[in-house]
Amino acid sequence: LAACGGGNEEAAQTGGGTDLGGREILIGSDTAYPPFEFVDENNQIVGFDVDMMNAVCEIANCKPKFVSAQWDGIFAALAAGEFDAVVSAVTITEERDKLIDFSRPYLNAGQIITVRVDNNDITKPEDLKGHVVGVQLGTTGDIEASKYVEEENIRRYETIDLAMLALANGDIEAVVADAPTSADIVNKQFAGQLKLVGEPFTEEYYGIAINPEETAELKPAFDAALKQLIESGKLAEIAEKWGIP
């Protein structure tokens, strides 16, 4: 989002501080995207993104409060002020940046193809043509798969686990999704049934998505905290904890 309009001028002028004064940050997240955000057996929202925001807020002096939200429409909800931020393995894209704002990038996670273990026909994105391919609706996996696959062969699911389940059941032939999440779901839920195809075929960077009305206050604080977490190796430690390469 361009830094104009919206009556943010005063905030923009006083912005730049990095202490958020202990305020709460209401965070919307589709909490069905392990290992970044998921609900554990104690009904707690956990994962890399939760640990990261705790670490960010320790530095920036804020209190993160994650709430589960539907992925479909999550950026419209953020733009409408329903949340202060969306932290949900969100890839920074130009299209989204028109609607909402982003912190500096915090992780590189490209798209990867998942197939059933007995499939040896699909070895690269070009091979997806002519096959029925599942994605999570409105993700970068949706966008990337749509570059290779005919529209009538794309199946769009509300959550990524529904796409993986459809693949395991034989309803579809492949899934395109973020590599760390695909690896986590395949290894923990579908070992011996599903496998990853090769290496990620895109380069994508995750960012904290920010309500434009709050950018002047939040972005400098988030960016400074992320910079510190990256440089200190703390973010790499959190990634290692959650099995993210």
Task: Point out which residues bind ligand ARG (CB under 6 A).
Answer: 30, 33, 37, 71, 88-91, 136, 139-140, 178
Q: How far is the CB of 180 from ligand ARG (least distance, A)?
A: 10
- b/e burial code for range 220-240 (CB count within 10 A of at least 16 → b): bbbbbbbebbeeeebbeebbe
Q: How far is the CB of 140 from ligand ARG (least distance, A)?
A: 4
- Quote the distance between the C-alpha of residue 152 and its chain's center: 26
Pick 84 or 178: Cβ nearer ligand ARG: 178
Pick 18 or 97: Cβ nearer ligand ARG: 97
Q: How far are the Cα atoms of 35, 163, 234 from residue 160, in angstroms, in the given order?
A: 12, 5, 28
Q: How far is the CB of 119 from ligand ARG (least distance, A)?
A: 23
Pick 96 or 216: Cβ nearer ligand ARG: 96
Q: Which helix (H) or strand (E) holds 181?
A: helix 179-189
Pick 90 or 115: Cβ nearer ligand ARG: 90
Q: How far is the CB of 25 from ligand ARG (least distance, A)?
A: 17
Instruction: Judge contact between 136 and 210, C-beta under 8 A.
Output: no
DSSP 146-161: HHHS-GGGEEEESSHH
Pick 103 or 139: Cβ nearer ligand ARG: 139
Q: How far is the CB of 90 from ligand ARG (least distance, A)?
A: 5
Q: Specify the long-range contacts of residues 238-242, CB closer than 8 Å, at least 24 apart.
A: 238/48, 238/51, 238/52, 238/55, 239/48, 239/107, 241/48, 241/51, 242/35, 242/36, 242/47, 242/48, 242/51
Pick 70 or 169: Cβ nearer ligand ARG: 70
Pick 89 or 229: Cβ nearer ligand ARG: 89
Instruction: Judge contact between 133 and 176, C-beta under 8 A.
Output: yes
Q: How far is the CB of 91 from ligand ARG (least distance, A)?
A: 4
Q: How far is the CB of 7 from ligand ARG (least distance, A)?
A: 29
Tokens matching residue 37: 């955000």
Minimal CA–CA distance to 110: which of 1, 217, 197?
197
